[in-house]
Structure formats: structure tokens, C-alpha cells
Amino acid sequence: MEFTIKKRRVFIRSYKRRITVYILVPVLATLILYSILNFYLLNRVSSQLLAQCKLGHSNFAYNYEQEFYSLSQTSLLLINDRAFKEMYYGQAEITPAHNYLFLDSIETLIAFAATKPYILQIGYVNNVNGRYISSAGTAELSSYYDNSYYGTVVNRKDYLKTYEKRGSIFQIQKLDTKYRQTTIPLLQYQAGQYTLSSPLIYYVSKPYFSSKLNNYKSTGGSNLFIYSSGTNQVIASSKTSLEDAVLTELSKDFAHETGMKTITINKEKYYCIVSASKSNYTDPLLFVSLVPYKDIRSQTMNSWLLSLLILVICSVLSSLLSYLLSFKLYTPIQNIINTFSPKDTARKDIYKDDELLYLDRNIKELLHSNSSLKANITNALPALYSRYILNILYQEEYNNKALEPILKDYSFSFPYDNFTCSILYPKFSAEFYEHFTKAEQAQIKQQLTDVLVLTQDNSCVKYVFRLEEDNFCIISNSPYEDEKELLYADFMSLQQLFSFDKDYIRLYIAMGKTCESLRNLHLSWKQANAAFSQLSAFREDNISFYEEAPIRKKNYLMDPTDDNHLTALLLQGNKESVLTLAKEIVQLNQQMHLTEEATKDLYVHLYEIGDSILRRTNETGQDLLGEKYVNISTFIHGYSNLERSDFIQLFYGKLCEGQACAQGSSFDREDIKKYVDEHFSEDIYLESLANMFHTSPKYMSRLLKQALGIPFKQYITALRITKSKTLLAESDYKIDDIALSVGFNNRNSFIRIFKQTEAMTPSEYRTLAKHQ
């Protein structure tokens, strides 16, 4: 260790070097960690880019499969069209007088083709009339078959007769160049539950069908393809020049393997993502995405170069900054050392070990010899006492190790061995904030601490700490082993002092049990908090003593009758009855000694009852309470039970006032029965009836049972079955139409319930009724 003394200036260079190293090592370690993380993150970026490409590919495949699904659903409308059915299923030849039927059928096909912009033409072969009928017109079959004008594989004679049908709805044929553009012929032999004897023939424009592929490109250079494995052709592509290369790759051994592979086309490397169609709406398809390798690399290369440049710059700057900071940090130490340094060189052994040890020795000597400094520390002792006690409350006693020597030097101690912790919460009313100015409010709150000390008994010592803006912790130190009666008397005196201001302030206090040692003070503090959680605005008394409950229940008690009754009272706007019932519910649950979580759930339930009423009025909590509104179900953990109960009182009160002003709706059981009888064929549920008559679903269920005599669902089903029997016997409507008209969602549901009720199917009942 080097040092020199010259004109009272001391230079101890070892610590300066250590400061430089202490700063530089963490910085360099951080830079190394940054490099590792950067390498990892950039690899993750590449992986995420590929994951996005896969997601884009999935969207591309899904949407094109959905397009075929949409086309199949639209074809059901065509099959069910009256004009089309009359021509398509007709078994008699059309006479010249009825040629308009051809025109009607053509117009229907034209309208259908217009629903999908990629359909160039749709038609079918009508063998009964010997004609080909399409959205482009009609022609005799002799002119249609083997006619080069049509230029399609499906117009070859006997092609449809010998055609081997497949399981898919849309069966893809070979591409052709009809109308001077590439088209895809599709055959449809099935529409929904209908099997078609003569298939519908679609001519789909390949360019238009391919035009939407650009919307699903993951990168600028990506290309997408749809490959028909049955006909070994690309039926849609975003780049036609690559189709032959894609066909070549797909013809290799991995043609039917799905997933992501790396391939090379025209000396360019691609990520190839392949997936197979998952539906039976078309012949088997492969969806192919080609993502250029250079697109992924280009998006990360700039980041690589930038991160490397940043690393070099940061390394240089950190080294320079560490060196400069060592001078800056060492300057105060140097100045203090110069102050304590001896005037002669004979005492250089005083600081020959370490700068900090040297300073520590000299500062201790200064503290013990400076009376002015002792006086300043004495003035700071109250703050040290407070910090010392709070560390015990929060079980952070390790922080007291530095305070204990100082307090011991100044003979800090408590006069008695017994301690009790209490929590005081002054609740200020709205009138308080309206009557006093902000300055007066702050002054009153500040003076509250002095008032607390004035009310203490002479036989004990109180220590008052402000925990939050309006919360106080009171620690009582007395010679009594049980301070309950003493503290109760103090609190009653405090209440008496504020009795004239009861419209402005209401005091709540919670007390823990007396403990025998300062080390156990944190137990009394926990008990005081537990007692504070039992305070509620619904309680008559303002004071709560900690009581040990043998078993705390994990679930609150809320009878459904009380739930419905409370809802009904809120709807009526009966404020007094609402608050009385809420008070009874809260007090009943408090007697059960609920856990903290169960108590929170109870207040959330009470809030949600009021919130359900509020939603029916199309109002928001802000409209009702303004800035005082809080969504208790969301922010339940940020409030005490006292604050929650106070909010529920305010919320219910304002809600009742609003309901009392609004015009209520009255109803009786006959109104409900009449409404059900008139609307049974509609989509009617218990919840919709409850909303209609402004009550809860549970209460409506009870009213319905009283009005109908049987459960609601059973009554609705009976009405629908009775009406369906009448329609089956007296009309020729289809069973599907009857099912929908009486309120059933589908044919299968209607048949199943009808058979359960009548022990026969609707068709059997109709046959029986017709013969009778």
C-alpha cells in the first residue's frame, strides 16, 4: 500500500484502484451477460419469425378450407330454390309453352354464380330434356358434348357416365383454358343431405382464386400454393413461374409429409411449410408456403451488426467512465482524510491500514468529544424510537442492530413490561369535507395525534404512529397484564371529546391482546389487525377486541331467499329495508367467524347484487356515485372490511334513491302465464323472462312454478308438443317446418322429444291422425 504525506494532503492510492475495479467488474459482467442474452434473443427472434410464418400458413389453409365450406353451404340455397328444383328434379320434358322454366333456372344459376366472384360458370346436364343448362345459357347435349368451344374435360361424351365418384363434396378435375383463361372444373355430387344424380359443374377462375393468396404472405418474398394431389396440379398460386418447381418438389418422397422443411429452388434456399386439408369438402389438398431463407436472415442481420457495435461502444465507454468515477467517488474520502490527517509525519502509522478504517477510528473519537453533536443526536431520538418500534411490529428486527447501540448509549427503555397494540381509524363524513377547507382538514387531522395522547391514563404511556393518511397505530405500555378495560375507558373518553363533532367524524378502534415482552409486540399487532378486519359499518359498536375463534369458516352464508329478497327490495327502492337486511346478513356471517377470504367474498356478493340492478337501469357506477365509485369485485384486496361495508351502505343507498325515483313495473302470475302462452314458440328462456319482468332468475323460477303448476321447461315443452300435434294432423307442412314453427331448434331435437312424450315419431302420429 503506497502513501505519501505532503502539506497535510494524504494520498492513499490503493482504495482508488479498488473503486475502479469495483465499478468496472460489474459493468463488464453486465456487458458479457448482455452479449449472451442478445445472442439468445436474436435466435429467438428468428424462431418467432418462423413461428409467425407457420401461423400465417395456418390462417391461409384455414381460410381457403372455409371458402370451400362456404361454397357448399351456399349450394344448399340453390338446391332448395323452387325454380331450380322444378327444372332439376322434373321427370317430364319441357314443352315449348313452358320454355320460361329454362329461363327461370338460368336466372337462378346466374344469381348463384354472382355470390362468389371466382365462379365463371355453373351448370348441369339435364338428361330428361337433353340439354346442358348453365349460368351462361343452355345448349342441347349433342352440341355440348365434345364441343371444342367448351374446352373442358367434363364435356367429353360419356365422361360423367363413367366418372368414378369420390367421397368429397367438390371433386377437382383437370385444369383447362376455357374462355381464354385458366379455369378449374369442379363436380358436386352431394349438397347437404341431398345426393345429386346429375352433378353441378363449377368453372372456377384460377387467377381470381389465387389473387387472395397475397393477403397471407408472411414476408415480402413468400409464395403460397394450393396443390391437388388427386389430379397432380397446382390449382392456386401466388407466383405461376414457380409452379413447375413446386410440382417437382411435391412429387418427391416427402410429398405427403406435413410440417416445415428446407428446400432449394432455382439455387435459392426456402423454408417450405406444408399442411394437408382437414375437411372432406374437396379432394385432398396440400397447402404450401415458400418462405425465402434470405427474408428471415435479413430481418435479424441488422440487429446482429447493431448489437455488436453497441457492445464495443459500451465497453469503451464503461472503462472510461469507471476510471473517471473512481476520481469522483474518492474525492469526498480524500477530503475527509485530509481533515483528519496529522500535521507531522511521525503519526503516519495511524492510517497505514485502510482509508475506511482510518476514518472510522477518527469519527468515533469525534463523536465522543463533541458535545454539540451529542445534543443534535438527542433531538433525533424520538424518530429513532419510532423506527425501532415499527421494525419490531413488521418483524424487521434485523434493522434494529444498527439502532440498538445508539439507543443504549442514550439510556432508551420502556418503563413497563406489558404492551398492547391498537389501530385507530377516524372515518370522516362527506359533511366534514364540505364544511372545512383543505387547510382546516389537514390541521384537524394533524392535531388528532395530540388529542390521542391527552386521553391516556396516567398509569400508562402511549406511543402514537401514523400508518397511513387516516390510520394510527397506538402502542400502550403499562404495568397491567390486561389493558382491555383501561384502553376501553381511554377510547370512551376520546369518543366523548369528539361527540360534538359526530356528524363530521366517527372513530373506530381495534385492539390486540396485551403481551408481556417488547419482542412479542408483533403478535399484539397482528391481533389488532385481525380485530380491525371485524369492524364494519353495519355494526352498532365502534370498538373491536381480538377474540380467538376455534375454527374459522371458509364459506359465507347467504340464503337464496335473502338474495332474492334483497334484489326485490333494491328494485323497489326501499332503502331502509335494504340496509336492515344487509346489516342482518353481515352480522350473521360475523358471528360465524369467517376467514378473511370468505368475508371478502361476502362483500363481493353484496356488491354484485347491487351491480346487477345497476346494469338493468343502463347506468354506470360513475353515474351513480361519481368519484366515490369503486368496482369492489375487482379491487377487493385494496380495502379493509370497514371501507367495504361503508361503500356497500353508500352504494345501496344511492341505488335505492334512484330506483325510488324511477317508475317500477308491477306484474302478477297471470301476466307471466299469459306471456308464456303467447310466446312459447319463440326462443324463450328463464333469464329472458326475468329481464322482461325486472326480477332475478331465481325469483322468476319460483313465480313460474306458482303460475304454471309445473316446472317452466316442462310447461314450454308441453305447449310446443300440443301445437305440433295440431299442425301434424291438420296441415301438410314438412316436419322440419313444424319443428321450427313451434320453437324447436332442429328436426332431431323435435323428433326425440316428441317420441319421449307421445311414444311415437311425428311421422307415425301424422299417419295415425290422417286415418282417424
3-state secondary structure 712-759: HHHHHHHHHHHHHHHHHHHCCCCHHHHHHHCCCCCHHHHHHHHHHHHC
Beta-bridge partners for 227: 234, 286
Per-residue pLDDT, averaged over 514-538, amounts to 83
CA 518 – CA 414 distance, rounded (Å):
9
* Of 6-10, 199-203, 263-267, 645-649, minimum mean pLDDT range: 6-10
* Residues sharing a CB contact under 8 Å with residue 267, sequence separation 6 or more, in sequence order: none
User: Would you call 205 helix, strand, or coil by DSSP?
Assistant: strand
Residue 346 has pLDDT above 50, yes or no: no
Task: Say if strands 170-172 and 233-237 run parallel, antiparallel, or are unpaired.
Answer: unpaired
CA 284 – CA 695 distance, rounded (Å):
55
Residue 12's pLDDT band, with cuts at 50, 70 and 90, is very low
CA 117 – CA 211 distance, rounded (Å):
11
- Which cell numbers hold the place of 678? 303467447
The alpha carbon of residue 230 and the mean position of all alpha carbons in its chain are separated, in whole angstroms, by 45
Residue ranges of E strands in 564-722: none
- Which cell numbers hold the place of 550? 376455534
pLDDT tens per residue, range 414-472:
788 888 888 888 887 777 777 778 887 777 777 776 676 666 666 777 777 777 667 78
CA 603 – CA 586 distance, rounded (Å):
9
pLDDT of residue 379: 56
* Residues sharing a CB contact under 8 Å with residue 698, sequence separation 6 or more, in sequence order: 560, 563, 564
Between vectors from CA 518 to CA 513 and to CA 519, what angle results, nearest 5°?
Answer: 100
The alpha carbon of residue 78 and the mean position of all alpha carbons in its chain are separated, in whole angstroms, by 43
pLDDT of residue 278: 87
CA 54 – CA 66 distance, rounded (Å):
18
CA 165 – CA 187 distance, rounded (Å):
9
**Inter-residue contact 364 to 340 (CB < 8 Å):** no
CA 607 – CA 617 distance, rounded (Å):
16
Which is more confidently placed, 178 or 118?
118
Between vectors from CA 767 to CA 766 and to CA 769, what angle results, nearest 5°?
Answer: 65
pLDDT tens per residue, range 140-169:
988 888 887 777 888 888 888 888 888 888
pLDDT of residue 2: 38
Residue 503 has pLDDT above 70, yes or no: no
User: Percent of the chain scored above 70 by pLDDT?
Assistant: 79
**Inter-residue contact 223 to 292 (CB < 8 Å):** no
Task: Say if strands 505-511 and 418-428 run parallel, antiparallel, or are unpaired.
Answer: antiparallel
CA 545 – CA 266 distance, rounded (Å):
86
Between vectors from CA 30 to CA 28 and to CA 36, what angle results, nearest 5°?
Answer: 105
Please report, for residues 73, 289, 676, 719, the alpha-carbon distance to residue 740 in angstroms, rounded to integers and kept in the order given. Answer: 19, 45, 17, 14
End-to-end CA distance of the chain: 122
Which is more confidently placed, 183 or 395?
183
Beta-bridge partners for 237: 225
Residue 665's pLDDT band, with cuts at 50, 70 and 90, is very low
- Which cell numbers hold the place of 385? 424510537
Residue 348's pLDDT band, with cuts at 50, 70 and 90, is very low
- Eight-class DSSP state of 728: H
Summary mean pLDDT of the chain: 78
Per-residue pLDDT, averaged over 629-657, amounts to 77
| Concatenated DSSP letters of 37-90 | HHHHHHHHHHHHHHHHHHHHHHHHHHHHHHHHHHHHHHHHHHHT-HHHHHHHS-
Beta-bridge partners for 270: 263, 292
| Concatenated DSSP letters of 139-199 | EEHHHHTT-TTT--GGGSTTTTTS----SSSEEE---B-GGGS-EEEEEEEEETTEEEEEE
Residue 83 has pLDDT above 60, yes or no: yes
Which is more confidently placed, 707 or 755?
755
Region of residue 192 (phi > 0: left; psi between -120 and 50: alpha; otherwise: beta): left
Which is more confidently placed, 298 or 406?
298
Helix (H), strand (E) at residue 264: strand 259-265
pLDDT of residue 202: 93
User: Would you call 7 helix, strand, or coil by DSSP?
Assistant: coil
Per-residue pLDDT, averaged over 234-238, amounts to 90
What is the biggest distance separating any 2 CA atoms in the chain, rounded to whole angstroms? 137
CA-closest candidate to residue 46, choices 304, 321, 345:
304
pLDDT of residue 290: 92
- Which cell numbers hold the place of 189? 355430387
CA 330 – CA 327 distance, rounded (Å):
5
Residue 548 has pLDDT above 90, yes or no: no
CA-closest candidate to residue 227, choices 281, 275, 186:
275
Please report, for residues 319, 375, 377, 380, the alpha-carbon distance to residue 371 in angstroms, rounded to integers and kept in the order given. Answer: 46, 6, 10, 15
Residue 405 has pLDDT above 80, yes or no: no
pLDDT of residue 224: 93
pLDDT of residue 287: 92
User: Percent of the chain scored above 90 by pLDDT?
Assistant: 8
Residue 493 has pLDDT above 80, yes or no: no
Per-residue pLDDT, averaged over 758-770, amounts to 88
pLDDT tens per residue, range 170-214:
999 888 765 555 888 999 998 888 888 889 999 998 888 888 888
pLDDT tens per residue, range 607-627:
888 888 777 776 777 767 777
- Eight-class DSSP state of 305: H
CA 398 – CA 216 distance, rounded (Å):
62
pLDDT of residue 110: 92
User: Would you call 545 helix, strand, or coil by DSSP?
Assistant: strand
